[in-house]
Amino acid sequence: MSETMADFEKELEASLRPINEGDIVEGIVTIVDEDAAYVDFNYHIQGVVKRADFSDDPSFNMHTVKEGDKITAEVISTDDGKGNVALSVKNAVRSLAWDTCRKYLEEAQPVTVKIGGIVNKGVIAYLEGLRGFIPVSQLALGYVEDTNEFLGKTVEALVITVDEKKNRLVLSVRELLQKRQQEEKEARINSLTKGTILEGKVEKLMPYGAFIDLGEGLSGLVHISQISRKRIASPGEVLKVGQTVKVKVQKVEDGKIGLTMKSLEESAPAEEIDNRPKISYKDEGEATTGLASLLAGIKLD
- The 10s digit of each residue's pLDDT in 122-132 is 999 999 889 99
Question: How many residues appear in the chain?
Answer: 301
The 10 Å Cβ neighbour count of residue 145 is 8
CB atoms within 10 A of CB 74: 22
pTM over 0.85: no
Contact 156, 173 (CB under 8 A): yes
Q: Is the pLDDT of residue 62 over 70?
A: yes
Cα separation of 69 and 57, whole Å?
A: 20
Q: Is the pLDDT of residue 270 over 50?
A: no
User: Which pLDDT value is given to residue 201?
Assistant: 95
* Percentage with pLDDT > 70 across the chain: 83
What is the pLDDT at residue 291? 37
- Split at pLDDT 50, 70, 90, the class of 266 is low
